[in-house]
Structure 1
Amino acid sequence: MSRFGSYFLMKTEDVGEYVQEKLHYFDDDAKLESKEIGDGNINYVFRIKDTKSGKSIVVKQAAEALRISSEMKLSTDRGRIEAKILQMQERYAPGLVPKVYIYDEVMCAIIMEDMIGYAMMRTGLMNHEIYPKFAEHITTFMVNTLLPTTDVVMNHKEKKELVKEFINPDLCEITEDLVYSEPYIDYNHRNNIFPPVADFVQKELYEDKKLHLEVAKLKFDFMNNAQALIHGDLHTGSIFINKEHTFIFDPEFAFFGPIGYDVGNVIANMFFTWCNGDATIDNKEEKEEFCGWILDTIEEIVDKFIAKFKAKFKESVTEIMAKREGFLDWYLGSVLADTAGVAGLESIRRTVGMANVKDITTISDQDKRARAEKMVITLAKNYIINRGKFKTGADYRRAINEVIEMYS
């Protein structure tokens, strides 16, 4: 009888046997090595490799609690959601997500293609690697996976069935708390505040009532705007990359929500990288090259997204009223406003919230880290409060340059 007939949390010594039983991916005489490679807060990710042939595969298992807090319990059904969504995304954006071989409902585990030869993007960026094709790839992925799942394109009844299928209350609750609430009102006492900026956070976040109102509006949009099937956690830790290609994975937070949530997350995480490069690169020319590329990339992401979104909309629209003159401009305008708002929310929650971002926390010089955090928060507030003004890549670049000048 199989020992994988009932759920348990696997360890490195279990996953080789597991893969062979479920998929028989490796030869019988394979010499398997297993290693945990995930650095996320929720799941366990293993690479299993045959040292004889070089073949490898990945197993991702959903745990029943967060790794960062055993008190936060989660439904393991998110593994099913992730597997199904990866398969859908492969149809919409072929080659930009890893292939799923099997989803095991008992062990709540996905067996998928190994992205060997790729680095986790956050790690690469913290080593100040430049990825010249990233803006092209990520905007293609976002437009091709998001727009087709809106009411603009998809049959409305089909979409409503998918909304039901991909309801994701446990993961949405995490986002509602950690992104849209706790960074502004620390009612669960889980925020991680860097002591040198505590007074700044108190004044700029906890006591700013105007900011709270705008965040509340964005929170209710997140909870009620079932616009498209979004990734839900699209940051540089959910991307594997090299100089030529990009893989997007880890869509366990996916549900039908606002498109701007994905786009804004990408923008915010790119600025974290700028802060890291600015604070840690000593060589002037290297710093200018890397940080300049980051600013170029942020601008390109926004402008390429807009151009591709417009083209895809005109090519794919099926909803009769969405074809009316002026609708595309209105619809895209609302997406861009949400994008700026979410860029601000992600920036703040990754700076003061429960899950701080490594790009910032690894800045060893306390003064430089404090400066980086103040820049992030100041920029983020501008994004949130003035979100309707961010319509082009140049608008983001201008705002970033202003905050750099402010803290120079």
Structure 2
Amino acid sequence: MTLQERPLGDPGSSPYRILREGDLRDYLARLPEVAARLGGAPNAWSITEVGDGNLNLVFIVKGSRGGIAVKQALPYVRLVGESWPLPLSRAHYEHLALTHQARLAPGLVPTVVHHDEALALTAMELLEPHIIMRKGLIAGTIYPRFVEDITTFIARTLFFTSDLAVSAAEKKEGIAAFAGNHALCKITEDLIFTDPYRQAEQNRWTSPWLDHIAASFREDFDAHVAISRLKLRFMASPESLIHGDLHTGSIMVTETETRVIDPEFAFYGPMGFDIGAVLANLIMAYFASAGHERVAGERQGVESWLLETVERVWSETARKFLDLWRSEARGDGYPKALFAGAAGETRLQVERRHYMERLFADTVGFGAAKIIRRILGLAHNIDFEWIEDGRLRALCEARSLRLARTMLVDTASFATIRDVTKRARELRDWQPDFSAT
């Protein structure tokens, strides 16, 4: 019986236990490096549980000298409870991903201070005054540094774990190292690629206004084909080490710094999944903006910045990725010996363009899938959820779904990222028919 399979409530079965405030204080006090980082007497440390995600416990611990963030995996999905068990091994994969990301994109992930495999616990630097980006966007904050940082993170983590940068053997070792994270992949496969398109007990949406739209997705076989193709790409295309849950709730920011957090869904998958997730969440922030206005039109500047950011995240990621391909291509993909001389380089340039066109199509499709799941599935975004007026919330969500459905089933109609933002602008004031509700 594995650690994850042992029954809850049996303290003798394994060293794992869920830490509460007193337990955590005693545990950290026995770690000299952590205690020194915090400073002062352990009984004077402040410990606050701040986890507002779907899966884990998160504590902020502060002493006289400094602070740390402590994350502990629970043996079940926190959002649902013990009826949905989940392996503690996800903490191992998160720590492994943070280690890789820190090497590939230095300064863009939190520094790990301590990791305990048995307790499924990781202590990291406390990011202050950073806030969760999603909350900042709801407040209407603009982040000038975000595009530069997130595109560096995406381009470098994807490129340097791909066949373009590493040998086939190294790539396969990487795939094997993360292959055991299949329980988290299963969550994605169900909640993103399957459940929103069928009757699923845990689905929810803004009812009654979206009832007919939710029903239409369950009956839309064009959408079912498109999402199934994307699901197959997700399951069968280990292109790079991906974050796996790269949304604005997994990014902490100030106006001058960006940190990517929470890579527990990491595995080797399709590159477009990460890029599409970022774009999808920016698009949802754009459509949700109308629901956070106090005066009509007051958020035009923020909304313009959001769509400009959508465009720049794609264009800068593509530019940086291609620059790396030209300067750092040492992998077994596209061997240099096959593209020698000026003629070979010219032909390779054409192939790079085709490669990026395929990646963009993946990005558009995966972005659509992320939007749909956040409105019709289990886990929702506070971008919409914090809009108190249910009808207004549904209006913002319906606009997002209309764009997402087109992105999903007619991906080819979006030849460039500006086609996406143009369509978003056109839908900004679209009025769905809620008369039947």
TM-score for both structures, normalised by structure 2: 0.88
User: Aligned runs of 1:120-139 on 2, under 5 Å?
Assistant: 120-139=132-151
Q: CA deviation at 1:295?
A: 1.2
Contact 1:279 1:368 in 2 (8 A): yes
Which residue is equivalent to 2:391?
367
The runs of 5 or more residues in structure 2 that have no matched partner are: 1-11, 340-347, 433-437
Does the 8 Å contact 2:138/2:292 carry over to 1? no
Aligned to 2:25: 16
8 A contact 1:302–1:392 mirrored in 2: no
1:406 Cα offset (Å): 3.4
Counterparts of 1:23-38 in structure 2, within 5 Å, are 23-25=34-36, 26-27=38-39, 29=41, 31-38=44-51
Q: Is the 8 A contact 2:287 2:428 kept in 1?
A: no
Matched, 1:305 2:317: yes
Per the TM alignment, residue 321 of structure 1 is displaced from its structure 2 partner at its CA by: 2.2
Cα RMSD (Å) of the superposition?
Answer: 1.7
Once the two structures are superposed, residues 5-60 of structure 1 have per-residue CA deviations (whole angstroms, 9 ceiling, x without a partner) of 8111111232222222134333353520001122110011111001x33x101111
Find the counterpart in structure 1 of residue 195 from structure 2.
182
Q: Which residue of 1 aligns with 2:342?
A: none
Output aligned runs, 1:51-66, within 5 Å.
52-53=64-65, 55-66=66-77
Read off the aligned partner of 2:363 and give its amino acid letter: T
Task: Give the equivalent residue in structure 1 for 2:113.
Answer: 101
Report the Cα distance in structure 1 between the residues aligned to 2:127 and 2:21, rounded to whole angstroms.
18
Q: Distance in 2 between matches of 1:28 and 1:360?
A: 42
- Say which of 212, 220, 225 aligns to 1:213: 225
| Distance (Å, rounded) in 1 between the aligned partners of 2:52 and 2:369 | 22
Residue 261 of structure 2 aligns with which residue?
Answer: 249
Aligned sequence identity (%): 33
Assess if the C-alpha contact under 8 Å between 1:16 and 1:33 holds in 2.
Answer: no
Alignment match, 1:76: 88
Amino acid at match of 2:55: I
Counterpart amino acid of residue 247 in structure 1: R
Tell me the secondary structure at the aligned position of residue 328 of structure 1. helix
Change (3 A) 1:256 1:88: same
Q: Aligned partners of 1:152 and 1:391: how far apart in 2?
A: 25
SS at match of 1:151: coil
What is the CA distance between 1:328 and its match in structure 2? 1.4
2:7 maps to none
Which of 187, 206, 212 is 1:199 aligned to? 212
Cα deviation for residue 367 of structure 1 reads: 2.4
Are the aligned partners of 1:15 and 1:46 in contact in 2 as well (CA < 8 Å)? no
Q: How does 1:278-317 map to 2 (within 5 A)?
A: 278-284=290-296, 286-317=298-329
Amino acid at match of 1:63: L
**Number of paired residues?**
401
Partner amino acid, structure 1, of 2:78? R
C-alpha distance in 2, partners of 1:18/1:389? Answer: 56
Distance 2:407 2:297 in 1: 30
Work out the CA distance in 2 between the residues paired with 1:20 and 1:387.
54
1:149 aligns to what SS in structure 2?
Answer: coil
Residue equivalent to 1:387: 411
Instruction: Check whether the contact 1:15–1:48 (CA below 8 A) recurs between aligned residues.
Output: no
Provide the rounded CA distance (Å) in 2 between the counterparts of 1:112 and 1:390: 40
Q: Is the contact made by 1:224 and 1:257 (CA closer than 8 Å) also made in structure 2?
A: yes
Q: Choose which of 252, 260, 269 in structure 1 pairs with 2:272.
A: 260
Say yes or no: does 1:90 pair with 2:102: yes
Deviation, 1:330, is: 2.3
Distance in 2 between residues matched to 1:212 and 1:338, nearest whole Å: 16
Shift in Å, 1:212 = 0.5
CA contact (8 A) 2:133 2:251 kept: yes
Partner of 1:403: 427
**Counterpart in 2 of 1:231?**
243
Three-state SS of the structure 1 residue aligned to 2:298 is helix
Q: Within 2, Cα distance between the matches of 1:316 and 1:327? A: 17
Q: Is the 8 A contact 2:112 2:124 kept in 1?
A: yes
Could you list the runs of 4 or more consecutive aligned residues of structure 1 that deviate by over 4 angstroms after TM superposition? none
Once residues 64 and 299 of structure 1 are traced to their aligned partners in structure 2, the CA distance between those partners, rounded to angstroms, is 39
Check whether the contact 1:95–1:247 (CA below 8 A) recurs between aligned residues.
Answer: yes
Q: Which moves more between the two structures, 71-80 or 241-250?
A: 71-80
Q: State the partner residue of 1:349.
A: 373
Q: Where do 5+ consecutive residues of structure 1 fail to align?
A: none
